Amino acid sequence: MKKNRTLQRSSRVKRSKPAAARKSGKKSGRGAARSMKQARKSRRPALAGRSRSRAAGGPSARRNAESANESAVSLRAPALQLPEARPFVPQPPNARMLSGERLSILYVVHAFYPDAYTGTEKFVLNLARGMMQRGHRVTVATYGDRLPEDAADADGIASASYEYDGVRVLAYRDVREDPAGTTDVAENPRLSAWAEAVLLREQPSLVHVAHAMRGFAFVQASQRLGIPYVMTLTDYWSVCPRLNLVRVDKQLCGGPEGGAACQTHCQIPQAGDRLQAIAPLLQGARRLFSPSMFLAAYVRHVLPDLTIEALPHGMRSDTLAANARTYRTGAPLTLVYGGSLSEHKGVHVLVRTMSLARSRRLRLRIYGDGKPEYEAALRRRAAGDRRISFHGAYAESDLPRLYQEADLAVVPSVWYENYPLALHEALASHVPVIASNVGGMAEKIVDGLNGYTFRVGDARHLADRLRLLLRKPGLINGLKANIRANPLPAAEEELGAYESVYFEHAR
């Protein structure tokens, strides 16, 4: 027992060697003090002049490390027993597809450009543009947070039409109640009637629901009108009232357990009723898809009667450029994070890691924006470390430059990411990825093949991975060679797969 207590103390106390030296009695007095001073000095990078307090190991950076330490949560990934997922199997084009017929497709998504531009929005934009190029008529219906109240009709529904990158967009908003602000999925008669009127006016051949959180009314209206719809699950909204399977204590959730776990861990009542209300609408879809095997398996773990096919996203080669850098001993390394600045994305883990990996050969560039309070907290933690820089929101046109700057992309999410597009954009740019070891991230990143994984939420383990590559940057050359030899699916493959599904089920 005494040995176990000693091991536990040494994992918490960083200065274990000087403590052990004092205990042994071999060093005492000024000799021990001199030894401790030398040990502290050896841990600091060599600094010069006025940069001492602002560089990687200065007092300001150490204060930020202590602050991050205090707020860090030790994450535990639950052991999951998931059913086997079913991959999508392409079928030969049917006669209808070969006839040259043109379809009318309505996409439904919870948010869209220019207000929102992360993974699900990119997925819808790529599909919409691709289907338009194939001659189909496309409209995107999305929730518009910024629509003014004075634009609302008598039922409290504001709406407006606009174009984004040539795609026709119909934005709407319930000014009386944001559907995302409640876990209740009971039908909203006002919004449902408005969605039904849109469907009657647009007369789509098929509806494709990319996220139902604020578009549930379109699913309900499609069922009433007999309009076929397909769904792509892009997160865990269908089985988790909090969307991301992260409990209020910030631990990863093992599943709703019929709603009992939602009540116990998140104090969300009637979650079981929510599941029962959502299940028939999922079952009513002609086809259900997921970009990752993990998400498909997880949702089937909760709702076993569903059939969900894993259909990975395709990458557009015209929006990316291959990074051809090579590495040898002593090479500096630039880490790039690209995505929203939200707590579940784990950017705070990455910032804390920089305070643990103090090499002056390491740089971190953070792209994206998000909740102002979270971004402000990140900037406070990074203050004084000139190796960390924030670059704000970025557009698709910035991707080639962003990944040309990168030696490694980091995806430090603290939830079960489904299919993070930033991860795949990096790989398509021949940039290795270091990612959390859960969800769709662990599905795509294989240690030593195309990157490395680290224990979710564990800044120290991530720092160990970075130290390895700082010591042996030549390893990155092998990772890049493997990435080149294993290209990701192309966007045309994904478009062709969905188009064949549309023709099979469109009215």
Which amino acid is present at 270?
Answer: Q
d(CA 76, CA 28): 42
Name, in order, each residue with C-beta under 8 angstroms of 296's C-beta and a sequence gap of 6 or more: 85, 86, 233, 290, 308, 309, 310
Task: Say what the pLDDT of residue 73 is.
Answer: 57
Please give the backbone phi and psi of residue 227, each rounded to the nearest 5 degrees, phi first. Answer: -90, 125
10 Å CB burial of residue 144 (0-12, 13-18, 19+) is buried
pLDDT tens, N- to C-terminus, the chain (507 residues): 444 433 333 333 333 344 444 444 444 444 444 444 454 444 444 333 333 334 444 544 444 444 444 445 578 889 899 999 999 999 999 999 999 999 999 999 999 999 887 789 989 999 999 999 999 999 999 999 999 999 999 999 999 999 999 999 999 999 998 888 777 787 889 999 999 999 999 999 999 999 999 999 999 999 999 999 999 999 999 999 998 999 999 999 999 999 999 999 999 999 999 999 999 999 999 999 999 999 999 999 999 999 999 999 999 888 899 999 999 999 999 999 999 999 999 999 999 999 999 999 999 999 999 899 999 999 999 999 999 999 999 988 999 999 999 999 999 999 999 888 899 999 999 999 999 999 999 999 999 999 999 999 999 999 999 999 999 999 999 999 999 999 999 999 999 999 999 999 999
Task: Say what the pLDDT of residue 116 is.
Answer: 86
Which element (helix H / strand E) includes 87?
strand 86-87
DSSP symbol at 246: B
pTM of the complete model: 0.81
Task: Say what the pLDDT of residue 185 is.
Answer: 80
Task: Say what the pLDDT of residue 50 is.
Answer: 37
d(CA 483, CA 324): 12
Angle between helices 459-471 and 347-356 (to 10 degrees): 60
Paired sense of beta strands 229-232 and 167-174, if any: unpaired
Name, in order, each residue with C-beta under 8 angstroms of 42's C-beta and a sequence gap of 6 or more: none
Give CATH 3.40.50.2000 domain extents, the chain.
86-314+491-505, 317-485
Choose among 465, 426, 463: nearest CA to 447: 465
Would you state the structure tokens that stand for residue 467, as one six-digit string?
Answer: 């130290």
Would you state the structure tokens that stand for residue 494, as one six-digit string?
Answer: 């994904």
d(CA 331, CA 472): 9
Question: What are the strands of the beta sheet with 86-87, ordered from one edge?
Answer: 86-87, 309-310, 288-290, 229-232, 206-209, 104-109, 137-143, 167-174, 157-164
Contact 185, 274 (CB under 8 A): yes
DSSP string computed for 384-427 = T-TTEEE-----GGGHHHHHHS-SEEEE--SS--S--HHHHHHH
352-365 core/surface letters (b: 16 or more CB in 10 A; e: else): bbbbbbbbeebbbb
CATH superfamily of 317-485: Glycogen Phosphorylase B; (3.40.50.2000)
Task: Say what the pLDDT of residue 182 is.
Answer: 73
Q: Give how far Cα 306 sits from Cα of 99, 219, 228, 302, Å.
A: 32, 17, 17, 9
Would you state the structure tokens that stand for residue 214, as one six-digit string?
Answer: 């604020």
Which amino acid is present at 278?
Answer: I
Choose among 497, 457, 490: nearest CA to 90: 497
Task: Say what the pLDDT of residue 245 is.
Answer: 94
DSSP symbol at 379: H
Q: Does domain 86-314+491-505 have CATH number 3.40.50.2000?
A: yes
Would you state the structure tokens that stand for residue 409, as one six-digit string?
Answer: 């992309």
